[in-house]
Amino acid sequence: MRVLLSTYGTRGDVEPLVALAVRLQALGVEIRMCAPPDEEFVRRLADIGVRLVPVGPPVRAMMRGTSLPPAAELSRYRNELVDAQFDVLPAAVEGCDALVVAGLAQIGARSVAEAAGIRYVYASYSAVNLPSPHHAPPPRPGWPQPETADNLTRWKLDAQQVNAQFAETLNGHRAALGLSPVDNVRDHVYSDRPWLAADPVLGRWPDTPDLDVIQTGAWGLPDERPLPADLLAFLDAGAPPVYVGFGSLRPAPDIARRAVEELRAQGQRVLVSRGWADLDVAEDRDDCFTIGEVSHRTLFGRVAAVVHHGGAGTTLTAARAGVPQVVVPLQLADNPYWASRVAALDIGAALDGSTLTDDALTLAVKTALAPGTRARAADLGPRIHTDGAEVAARLLVDSLR
């Protein structure tokens, strides 16, 4: 049995599929994986014995600026990525029994699976990415946000925007494959039975009769790597610090700096994660330390709170560790959604990164560090599921058999 996995994006897009790959391999499935050609993804897949089939340009280079590219450049980039998928995926899927994809960027994948006559599965890492009257669509970079507050109307407009961006390109490729055109690109990509790879305690799918969603739980792997000696020395030298990091995203420069200054003003020790933004906002001192890539699973059990951008993976890992969170989301993809979930579960505080005030930041830090918040976060941690990737792997293998 052979399965092709495919995604395009940052580490938060790739790592869940790595987890699924490992669980599928344990069931005897041969894995191929399409992903961006960034060197760290090549190494990561090599570690689990999977060869990366590169699609599109490296992602990290795109994330170097302090802002996203202009709308016209993003539009061109998106269509070029669709072309790249039709160039690469047909050969990559040869001999495969199924194609599992994650992310709306996988515009061409279902058509390739259809032409090959194999099983197609679309997976989302957050409920907010799938249409429901219970939430609005996530913000999509370069596209205007509708003024209406009605969720169903917003989803209808979202489908129109996806069509405007992709329909001509997608249907041109489908015609070349002898396939009929599609009139709703977004729902075509999602399929009529998508999977939701998100924890049901942290982000449950709301009952939505028009869409049959299978929620497997979040896809992740244990990460028991030991922490570096210098980091351990800092942790052992005082009270648990507050972690500040923005993962693969580059926040406005002052956000990280202001967060560190506020934490230190409240007498907190601080850990700053460089991330892809290569943050360097504080000198290493007795109360502040800068770190590179480490195991969040190992680290978060030793911090007082986690300040982050609202990525699905960071939100999940912090919640599983039972520590409070301060989420400063960029207005991008599912970041605002995870911020809202932290606030709704009362395990931290959510801020608006685009209009962050000093008073709001002060209150958020105090809220996250309050005894009641710490107690709620600690209570939630043991309830987080850890078997989502295994559930998904068995579901896929059983369906193929």
> Do the strands 242-244 and 214-215 form a parallel or antiparallel pair, or are they unpaired?
unpaired
Q: Quick check: 177 pLDDT over 90?
A: yes
Hey, do 2-220+386-400 and 229-383 end up sharing a CATH topology, with the first three levels equal?
Answer: yes
Q: How confident is the model at residue 50 (pLDDT cuts 50, 70, 90)?
A: very high
pLDDT of residue 389: 98
Q: Quick check: 324 pLDDT over 70?
A: yes
pLDDT of residue 329: 87
Where b means 16+ CB within 10 Å and e means fewer, 133-167 reads eebbbbbbebbeebeeeeeeebbebbbebbbebbb
Q: Which residue has the higher pLDDT, 305 or 249?
A: 305
307: amino acid identity, one letter: V
Tokens matching residue 47: 């570690």
Mean pLDDT, rounded, for 198-212: 94
Q: CA angle, corner 151, sides to 120 and 219, nearest 5?
A: 40
98: amino acid identity, one letter: A
Q: How confident is the model at residue 91 (pLDDT cuts 50, 70, 90)?
A: very high
> What does the pLDDT look like over 275-297, one tens digit per residue?
776 676 656 578 999 999 999 99
- Mean per-residue pLDDT over the chain, rounded: 92
Answer whether 333's CB lies under 8 Å from 313's CB. Answer: no
Assigned CATH topology for domain 2-220+386-400:
Rossmann fold (3.40.50)
Mean pLDDT, rounded, for 190-197: 97
Determine how many CB atoms are found less than 10 A away from the CB of residue 289: 20
Q: How confident is the model at residue 99 (pLDDT cuts 50, 70, 90)?
A: very high
Collect all residues with Cβ–Cβ distance below 8 Å to 265 and sequence separation of at least 6. Answer: none
For the chain, give every domain's residue range. Answer: 2-220+386-400, 229-383
Q: Quick check: 181 pLDDT over 90?
A: yes
Q: Which residue has the higher pLDDT, 139 or 164?
A: 164
Assigned CATH topology for domain 229-383:
Rossmann fold (3.40.50)
